[in-house]
Amino acid sequence: MAAVARLGALAFNTTNIPEWRRILVGMLGMEERPRTAETDPMLIRYDDLEYRLAFHPSEDDGLRLMTWEVDTPEELREIAAQVEGAGIAVEWHEHGDNDTRDWTESITFKDPQGFPLAVRYGATWDHNEFRPSGIVSGFVTGDMGLGHLVVIAEDYKGMVDFYLNVLGFKLSDYIVWDGADATFFHCNGRHHSLAIMNECFGQKGGQFNHFMVEVNDLDDTGRAYDLMTRSGVPLTMDFGRHTNDAMTSFYITSPSGFAMEVGNGGIVIDDEVWEVKTWRAPMRWGHELVKG
């Protein structure tokens, strides 16, 4: 079975591009690509790819597309056949936008919960090396992809089954606490590129919970924390460290309502020796919920 290799890009609809820009470019030192029109998406890069995040001006806020990557046309064809084998229709696309040529070839479809997915190969890289322009020394991406994301599923078991058996993810572990059930998946060394949670804490299936960007070290996380909290960016969860991936992080409430996690030190999985386990709490310490 073919498997996706990494998380390539995330696109969101948003009502508040200026605040996203203030946080990502102004505080984290990511780079905004030139825009020609106000109706264009704001494209953000934080490594050598042309962009990792796209924010489309919209009347509402939410996930527009999660894009996974494979490395070859053959793998894309296999993934497409696996998705179609699960009874889900796929659409084929050539090279993205005619001007930007963001990738070589991709498919789009919806997962069983209705989240919009793409799988692509041949993403476009920028010939200029990325240089962070702020307090963060750099971001952990490369073969491990842009970071991770967490979504809420109404049919939790069905969604877990789809990502394992149709897209070829591997199990990392489980966390079970206070009525919440979470399954963590990896598709490369990053402890998880995806987690799926049941409906819990008032969250409904189809909700986008958060995405995470990993910075180089603890000083980066700490400085980002200081800058954001002092600049009036609201926190969802305070500084803390996760049980399963050992990441030290904090969560802001993004301008789109869902959370964004900034952290460092996530463990890298070696499949030869990895054991799937269950944790009974998401944090070793900290990560206190901040009441808005």
Task: Please say which residue, 151 or 212, places its beta carbon nearer to Fe ion.
Answer: 212
Instruction: Tell me the site size for Fe ion, rule CB under 5 A.
Output: 2
In the complex, minimum distance from the CB of residue 191 to Fe ion, in angstroms, rounded to a whole number: 10
In the complex, minimum distance from the CB of residue 213 to Fe ion, in angstroms, rounded to a whole number: 10
Stretch that binds Fe ion, among 30-38, 54-62, 258-266, 282-290 (CB under 5 A): 258-266
Task: Please say which residue, 120 or 192, places its beta carbon nearer to Fe ion.
Answer: 192
Task: Please say which residue, 5 or 212, places its beta carbon nearer to Fe ion.
Answer: 212
Task: Please say which residue, 1 or 246, places its beta carbon nearer to Fe ion.
Answer: 246
The token pair at 39 is 């109706």
The amino acid sitting at 192 is H
The answer to whether 198 touches 153, Cβ cutoff 8 Å, is: yes
Residue 260 as a binder of Fe ion (CB under 5 A): the answer is no
DSSP state of 107: E
Element (H, E) at 241: strand 235-242
Q: What is the CA radius of gyration of the chain?
A: 18
In the complex, minimum distance from the CB of residue 287 to Fe ion, in angstroms, rounded to a whole number: 10
Task: Please say which residue, 124 or 253, places its beta carbon nearer to Fe ion.
Answer: 253
Stretch that binds Fe ion, among 85-93, 115-123, 134-142, 260-268 (CB under 5 A): 260-268
Of residues 140, 119, 138, 150, the one with CA closest to residue 268: 140
Nearest 5°: the CA angle 1, 212, 66 is 45
Stretch that binds Fe ion, among 88-96, 99-107, 108-116, 253-261 (CB under 5 A): 253-261
Task: Please say which residue, 181 or 261, places its beta carbon nearer to Fe ion.
Answer: 261
In the complex, minimum distance from the CB of residue 235 to Fe ion, in angstroms, rounded to a whole number: 14
The H helix count followed by the E strand count for the chain is 4, 18
Task: Please say which residue, 7 or 212, places its beta carbon nearer to Fe ion.
Answer: 212
Phi-psi region of 263 (alpha: psi -120 to 50; beta: other; left: phi over 0): beta
The span from the CA of 245 to the CA of 172, in Å, is: 9
Residue 214 as a binder of Fe ion (CB under 5 A): the answer is no
The span from the CA of 237 to the CA of 223, in Å, is: 16
The amino acid sitting at 29 is G
The answer to whether 134 touches 27, Cβ cutoff 8 Å, is: yes
Stretch that binds Fe ion, among 4-12, 116-124, 134-142, 256-264 (CB under 5 A): 256-264
Query: Among residues 212, 213, 252, 260, which is the contact residue for Fe ion, using CB under 5 A?
Result: 212
The span from the CA of 144 to the CA of 268, in Å, is: 9
Query: Among residues 32, 50, 75, 261, which is the contact residue for Fe ion, using CB under 5 A?
Result: 261
- What residues line the site for Fe ion (CB under 5 A)? 212, 261
